[in-house]
Structures are given as structure tokens and as C-alpha cells.
Amino acid sequence: MLYARAGAIHDAFSGQFADFTKDGEDNKTLFAKTGKLPMPVLAIGGDHSVGTLMNSDLADVASAAKNAVITNAGFLPNCLRNCLRSALG
């Protein structure tokens, strides 16, 4: 019943995502000082959702970013187990 209240869904999501911008700014400052992550980083996106966008974001912070796009996939947590098996072989 709490989510039925006026503005409840908006308030829940705005609170959840409120710090993403600040976190991104903090990360830019950190990586300007320390350089990019040296370890390999895998960005996986579904072809019906983010696709290669995550790889573009990671290229700013990781020197060895690799991209995998899962075909016929949307929001990956819904199919994560099978998508990861497919991507990682």
C-alpha cells in the first residue's frame, strides 16, 4: 500500500539513483589521479537494452575493457546466468 500513495514511486526511485552523478564525478577525480584500472574489465549488454554503451563508459576508467553483447536479451539480470555462460564460453 505504500507505493499507492501519491509520489511514492517517484520518491523511491529518485532516492535510489540520486548519488549516481556525484559518484561519477568522484570517479573522474580518482582516475585522473591514479590512472585507469589495469585489470581486464568485461562490459556485458543486451542487444535490446544497453548494447555497447557500458563498454564506452568503461573505456574512460579501464585500459583493458572488453565488450560482449548478448543477442536476444534485454535487461540482463533477467537472464544473467545464461547470458554469462554464453559470453564467457
Q: Where are the beta strands (DSSP E) in 6-83?
A: 37-46, 62-70
pTM: 0.50
- Cα(29)–Cα(2) distance, integer angstroms: 39
pLDDT of residue 33: 92
Binning the chain into helix, strand and coil, the percentages to the nearest 5 are 55, 20, 25
Residue 89's pLDDT band (cuts 50, 70, 90): low
Q: Would you say residue 82 has pLDDT above 60?
A: yes
Between 28 and 15, residue with greater pLDDT: 28
- Cα(8)–Cα(77) distance, integer angstroms: 24
